[in-house]
């Protein structure tokens, strides 16, 4: 294995963790956009306490290192809900205690009612999600946050696939992350990017993952954005 030199150590550790947890897999997978991808990232498979706790550590380290200013955390339903809760716990453990909230898919007409649950949504809000494919979940969260009178400040994700988004079934020359940054004016921080995955695979050229470096590189050359 090649040593990590001049690379993002946190990102490399995260990719290794995702692979060993079975969350990041290699083969042939069909994406929502209908593309055949040589890799698949399913954050829903961080499915026990130890994995979720470790994942939260990666998020918290990246968020704190990013310098993003935020007053609270928001988790979009459904995958963002446990992520936001876990990250809030880890940030508190590190001395940065902030409130968090999340949304329901359907509004309740009893109890506290509405679509928002948790702390009042106010100030600068950091959205926590797993990946950003089309930016749809981010746009929905932004609308909810603004409707509550708060400011959507940034989005933190686990993996930036760095590939072209699709609109109306067509590829567009920008990624969902680029759209959120450039069109919506929000910061985005990712624990790891496709470039980090390629570096990881290059370091494993001599083992069973070796052949996937060329396949992922080919996929990036075809669908990569930016």
Q: What positions carry a catalytic annotation? A: 108, 110
* DSSP for 149-189, written as a single string: T-EEEEEEEEEE--BEEEETTEEEEEEHHHHHHHTS--EEE
CA dihedral 129, 132, 135, 141 (to 10 degrees): 0
User: What SS3 class is residue 139?
Assistant: helix
Q: At what angle do helices 80-93 and 49-66 cross, to 10 degrees?
A: 70
Distance from C-alpha of 93 to C-alpha of 53, rounded to nearest angstrom: 11
């Amino acid at each position: 294995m090649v040593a990590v030199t001049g690379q993002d150590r946190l990102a490399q550790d995260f990719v290794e963790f995702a692979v060993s947890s079975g969350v990041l897999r290699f083969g042939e997978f069909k994406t929502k956009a209908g593309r055949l991808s040589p890799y698949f990232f399913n954050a829903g498979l961080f499915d026990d306490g130890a994995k979720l706790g470790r994942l939260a550590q990666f998020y918290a380290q990246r968020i704190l290192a990013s310098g993003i200013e935020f007053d609270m955390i928001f988790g979009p339903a459904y995958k963002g809900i446990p992520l936001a809760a876990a990250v809030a716990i880890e940030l508190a453990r590190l001395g940065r205690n902030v409130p968090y909230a999340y949304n329901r898919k359907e509004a309740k007409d009893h109890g506290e009612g509405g679509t928002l649950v948790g702390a009042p949504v106010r100030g600068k809000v950091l959205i926590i999600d797993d990946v950003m494919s089309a930016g749809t979940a981010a746009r929905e969260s932004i609308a909810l946050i603004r409707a509550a009178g708060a400011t959507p400040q940034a989005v933190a994700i686990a993996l930036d696939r760095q590939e072209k988004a699709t609109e109306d079934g067509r590829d567009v020359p920008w990624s969902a992350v680029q759209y959120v940054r450039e069109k919506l004016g929000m910061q985005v921080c990712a624990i790891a990017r496709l470039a980090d995955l390629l570096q990881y695979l290059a370091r494993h050229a001599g083992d069973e993952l070796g052949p996937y470096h060329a396949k992922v590189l080919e996929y990036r050359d075809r669908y990569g954005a930016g």
